[in-house]
Structure formats: C-alpha cells, structure tokens
Amino acid sequence: MWRWKGIIPKVKVFIWRLLSKTLPVAQNMHKRINAFSPMCQRCGTENEFETHCMFFCPISWLVWFGGRMGIATHALPMNIEEAFIYITNGIDDEGKRYVCYTLWEIWLARNQEIFHQKRADPIDVWRKVNQHMNIQVMANEWGPQMGNSAVQNVGQKMLIENWIILMDASCDGNGQAGMAFLVYNKGYLVSVGVNHKTGVDPFWAEALVLEEVMKCIQETMDGDVRSGMTLLTNCLNLVDAIKEQDVENIPSWRARDTVAKILEILNLFASVIQIKHVNREIIRPAHVLANNARRKRLNYRSQPNAHMNFLIPEAIVLDSKFFLQLQDRPP
C-alpha cells in the first residue's frame, strides 16, 4: 500500500492504522477503558470493530454498494486485512485510490456523526470521494507540464473547460475589506483564494477580487484559448462597468485603475470568459470566506482543505440546486 501512487500521505497513514487495528473504534477503546461501551454508536447492532465500522455498518454498506464499484460488503471477510486485500486485489491504481479515499471519508463521516451529531449521508461521502479522485486526475494531467509545486496547488491552472469562479468582497465601516474567490472545475472545488485589504470601499473591493481572478487567468492560461469560463459576482455596478467598458462613471473613483486593468486583461480573453451578475445566495461560499478574511485578516491561496469542510461544507461540490439557481435571473 505504501507504494501505491496518487494517495496523499495522511490517507496512507490512516490505512496503515486501520490495518494495524490501532484506530480508536469502540471495541479498541473498550479494551483500554473497560467502562467504554464496545457497541457501535451509529447503528447499535453489534460491537464496532474495524470491519464493522468500514464495511458492515448500514451507512458504510450503503456507501460501498451505491458507489462506483458496487461492492456488497456483507460478503467480505470479518478480518480487516483480509477484507482490504479482497476488495483491492486485481484492481488498477484508480480503483485502489477509490478504495482508500472511500475508507478515509467513511471514517470522517463516522466521526462527524459521533462527535458533532451530524448524520452521515452516503451522497456526501460519494461527492467528497469524487472530489479526491477529480483532483488526482488533474494532478496527473498537469504534473508533467507544471512541476511538483503545481501538483500541490492544482487548482491554479485554469486551462480546462467548464470552469466556474465564485467571487465576493466584504467591507466594514472602518475600511477593512475581505475578498475571496473559489474555483470549480466540472462542479468540484479545486482552488480557494482570500485576501485582506485596508482603506478600500465596497465597489473597489469587488473590483480588486475580479482583478485578482483576471491576473490569475492571465498568468496561467499562457495564450491557450478555450471556452467555458464563467465568473460570478453579485455586484451589478461592476458587471455594468465591464459590459460598457466604462472606467469613469463608476461608484468609486479610486477603483478606476483597477477596472482599467480588468478590461485590459479581459480584452485578451473575451471569447473565453463571461462575467455574470447573480444573487448573493449563489455565491454564498465566497461571501462566507470574504467575511472570514476580513475579520481574521487572512491572505492565502490553496487547495480546499479540512478548514473549508468545516467552514462551508456545501461549497465542496456544486450540486443541481446551484445550477438551477444559476438559470434564474437575479433581481
């Protein structure tokens, strides 16, 4: 397992602990602390040993049976090592990655249910596993051209079709502003950027977010023209200024240079990019991150991480509700 490719180190360590029977499942905890019940806290039908937790518990069974491999786990061996060998024997690298990430997400969902009373949903587990698989596919495609550093931040190369970018800014009365954008490829979140600025007004902050996105596009597209890049904002004044290519009649005179730079870059990629005005609810993940950046004065750009899952878990994947909302005209 240590030699398998495309699996991040922390997941390999988790699999090693699972197979070594050192995970804190209820039965292991009972052996150490006699007062601790060995029963599964999710289903209450039998002791929670490793194979029960990962394969036999009803939620885990649904995840495996309804997933892409369609495994009926009730037929697996009781021993966790034998069960793991049984389902990974003879499958390709992608299948092995799928098995490891499914085990990982089942464990995270189990912990959320036990410690935070958040009922596990097989659909959410599938989405998160698919996100891992999607990021790995892009890393495989881009790695040879971009180098190892780019594989670590795979979402920053915006060359593949079907990109959606959510962006928003948040300002307070003291000139503090937080800005954020989220980059999605084929519905999956692949990159997040947040910024903190001082001494800016609301319109200027919205323009600065768009400028940051446009610079990122300019740096990464490298002259390769492709279709399907949609930028979403709830700032109608900014969309109108871009549409009319007007840098004079805008709500903030201080934003003129920023809007001019946006137009300059946009003209290079006019056939690739469209900027749409949408309701705030559609860009809610960007709004939440922008507020967080303003309050905590954050500046970073990265792949989605555990912090994102905690802050706005619904932002990881764009679902059918999002695309239905996107078809509605904003007020």
Average pLDDT, the chain: 81
Residue 309 binned pLDDT confidence (cut-offs 50, 70, 90): low
Of 117, 149, 181, the position where a domain reaches its end is 149
Of 100, 115, 149, the position where a domain reaches its end is 149
User: What does DSSP assign to residue 174?
Assistant: T
Rg (CA), the chain: 23
Tell me: do 214 and 77 sit in the same domain: no
Residue 3 lies inside a defined structural domain of this protein: no
Contacting residues for 237 by C-beta, under 8 A, at least 6 apart: 203, 250, 251
Residue 149 binned pLDDT confidence (cut-offs 50, 70, 90): very low
Q: Which amino acid is at 268?
A: L
Residue 1 lies inside a defined structural domain of this protein: no
Question: Left if phi > 0, otherwise alpha if psi is -120 to 50, otherwise beta: which for 6?
Answer: left
**Which of 36-40, 117-121, 284-288 has the weakest average pLDDT?**
117-121
Q: What is the pTM of this model?
A: 0.53
Tell me: do 118 and 207 sit in the same domain: no
Residue 2 lies inside a defined structural domain of this protein: no
Cα 184–chain centre separation = 8
Tell me: do 108 and 161 sit in the same domain: no
Tell me: do 126 and 197 sit in the same domain: no
Residue 306 has pLDDT above 60, yes or no: no
Tell me: do 298 and 205 sit in the same domain: yes
pLDDT of residue 310: 55
Q: Which amino acid is at 302?
A: S
Residue 206 binned pLDDT confidence (cut-offs 50, 70, 90): very high
Tell me: do 113 and 164 sit in the same domain: no
Tell me: do 320 and 217 sit in the same domain: yes
Tens-place pLDDT, residues 217-228: 777 655 444 556
Mean pLDDT of 170-199: 87
Residue 134 lies inside a defined structural domain of this protein: yes
pLDDT of residue 99: 93
**Which of 44-48, 66-70, 144-148, 307-311 has the weakest average pLDDT?**
144-148
Strand order in the sheet with 188-198: 273-277, 229-233, 163-171, 176-185, 188-198, 300-302
Cα 1–chain centre separation = 26
Number of domains forming the structure of the chain:
2
Strand (E) or helix (H) holding 13: helix 9-19
Mean pLDDT of 224-239: 79
DSSP reduced 3-state for 223: coil
**Which of 6-15, 61-70, 150-159, 217-226 has the weakest average pLDDT?**
150-159
Residue 314 lies inside a defined structural domain of this protein: yes
Alpha-carbon distance values, 112 to 28, 45, 68, 88, 107 (Å): 19, 19, 23, 26, 9
Signed CA dihedral, 104, 106, 108, 110: sign only: negative
Where is pLDDT greater, at 118 or 205? Answer: 205
Residue 97 lies inside a defined structural domain of this protein: yes
42: domain range?
9-149
How many other C-beta atoms are found inside a 10 Å radius of the C-beta of residue 99? 23
pLDDT of residue 218: 74
DSSP reduced 3-state for 108: helix
pLDDT of residue 146: 35
Of 149, 182, 201, the position where a domain reaches its end is 149
Name the token pair of 169: 């800014």
Tell me: do 121 and 225 sit in the same domain: no
Residue 66 lies inside a defined structural domain of this protein: yes
Q: What CATH code is carried by the domain that includes residue 282? A: 3.30.420.10
Q: In the chain, how long is the greatest CA-to-CA distance?
A: 74
**Percent of the chain surpassing pLDDT 70:** 82
Contacting residues for 88 by C-beta, under 8 A, at least 6 apart: 95, 96, 99
Mean pLDDT of 77-105: 91
Residue 230 lies inside a defined structural domain of this protein: yes
